[in-house]
Chain A
């Protein structure tokens, strides 16, 4: 019962979102609510509540039935193309996370080892996150094309993974740095009393001690990598993934309002898989998380 409780509350949360959606659709004004609109002038004022017509807010069940239908007779069902987009986006996110993990951990190790490196690099790491992805993505894409032209094959998915890693490495670098610096002075004294040098202290003490800090950072990094991959697909125009599909299908929304929700559900699923994988990793490494506050 204890173990089932979080699952039950999770299900209640999902049901609540669906209920709020349908309840508002049922009770809300058809034209929504607009503040400060000028009579006869379209698009004026602030719309604080959306329209509730089927065109703007399709029923939740319609979104799901739409997933089972194709785009006309003889075409495969929507969920098939969503699934293939999901696999591609998930793969690029995962690769982005791995690159982010390697870069983040390497940066954290260097920053922990040498204060000078921390002073020199940490501000740049922070500044790097203020550069908008939309500005940054085309640069990566162009560099990829240049490298490709120079004779080294550089597929589009590599650019997307690289852009995803750009979002993922940040929480990992910062979390890992804190984790590496987290051992008690008493533990450091102990290792010193054993005559253990940097390498042994790292392996026996700093790395295991950093795991409770790394795991939440990894969870942030994983979801950032998914967001990064979806946005990167759109901004470099790479076909086949969920990001591109969301934009494409949104264009047919006026004729088929339930259609774009298919790839959106796909993106949610990718995020859940990413977070779930980190939770699984946390369960495997649970012995390293003792004494950690239950979050």
Chain B
């Protein structure tokens, strides 16, 4: 018998979905948000879900987060049910809106999950300071959300998502509301943070370059019914510099994802 020195959890995929479907409504009015999704995400792997509106990418993320339950199939997160994974704080989550509590300061917002799970004050304060530093908001630690720009708010949300050192990050278009320049800077920061924490990530996005820049794998989805139509590996390694955006390999990948994505809308046009 071979002696394996790696931690056991590394062998367990972060997410394993088999035949997962989610139907909204009943009988004649039933709408399949997603059908028969098979997806496996390894520990530490960064996966983007991309597709047109209504392809069920956000629904899939919400199922993984156990904010919603699948109507068919099985879904496991780190080998547990999605519910158990949620209760064990296996994932951190960020949404399109930062979703900060307006009455709390930057530090208090970052501390929210730690506070809810009873981390002692001294330890919490130290961890919160570290996180504020990590996202470059030390100077704004006592500001409240209405005093921050959209990019800063989103950085607070990301700090909050990684506060408990989760092994999985779930992000639903976190940079969707930001301008292009802020967006690219945030992508760079996210890549750096994720590389440092070694967490797996499920990243929902509309932007092809964003998906390619950040991901180890881009999962392309198609609407009506929502399903996976292509999976594209992006083998650029973990350490990605800004220069990558201007390299021919990057453009080649962007083209590949675009073609996979446009396979779907043609079908959609035929349906009409």
Which residues of chain B have C-beta atoms less than 8 A from A211's C-beta?
A: 103
Indicate whether A200 reaches chain B with its CB closer than 8 angstroms: yes
Within 8 Å CB of B112, what residues of A? 194, 204
> Considering the complex, which residues of chain B in the window 206-238 have a beta carbon less than 8 Å from any beta carbon of chain A?
none
Known: A200-B116, A208-B103. 16 other contacts (CB 8 A): A184-B99, A189-B67, A190-B95, A193-B91, A193-B93, A194-B89, A194-B112, A195-B86, A195-B87, A204-B101, A204-B112, A208-B101, A211-B103, A288-B103, A290-B102, A290-B145
* Inter-chain contact B95/A195, CB cutoff 8 Å: no
Q: Name B89-117 residues within 8 Å CB distance of A.
A: 89, 91, 93, 95, 97, 99, 101-103, 112-113, 115-117
Q: Which residues of A in the span 170-223 have a Cβ within 8 Å of any Cβ on B?
A: 184, 186-187, 189-196, 200, 204-205, 208, 211
List of A residues within 8 angstroms of B95 by Cβ = 186, 189-190
> What is the interface size of chain B, counting residues whose CB is below 8 A from a CB of the partner?
22
Nearest to A288 among chain B residues (CB) is B103
> Does B65 have its Cβ within 8 Å of any Cβ on chain A?
yes
Q: Judge if B146 is at the interface, Cβ distance under 8 Å.
A: yes
Residues of B within 8 A of A190 (CB): 93, 95, 99
Chain A interface residue bracket vs B: 20 to 34
With an 8 A cutoff between CB atoms, is A40 at the interface? no
Given A189-B95, A193-B93, A194-B116, A291 contacting B67 (CB threshold 8 A): no
Of B89, B116, B145, B146, the residue contacting A204 (CB under 8 A) is B116
CB of B103 within 8 A of CB of A194, answer no
Whether B101 and A187, one on each chain, are in contact in the complex, defined by CB atoms closer than 8 angstroms, is: yes
Quick check: is A287 within 8 A (CB to CB) of the other chain?
A: yes
User: Which residues of chain B have C-beta atoms less than 8 A from A187's C-beta?
Assistant: 99, 101
Taking CB atoms, residues of chain A closer than 8 Å to B115 are 204
B67 contacts A193, CB within 8 Å?
A: yes
Closest B residue by C-beta to A183: B101
Selected contact of B144 from candidates A200, A208, A287, CB within 8 Å: A287
Q: Complex: how many Å from CA A190 to CA B170?
A: 12
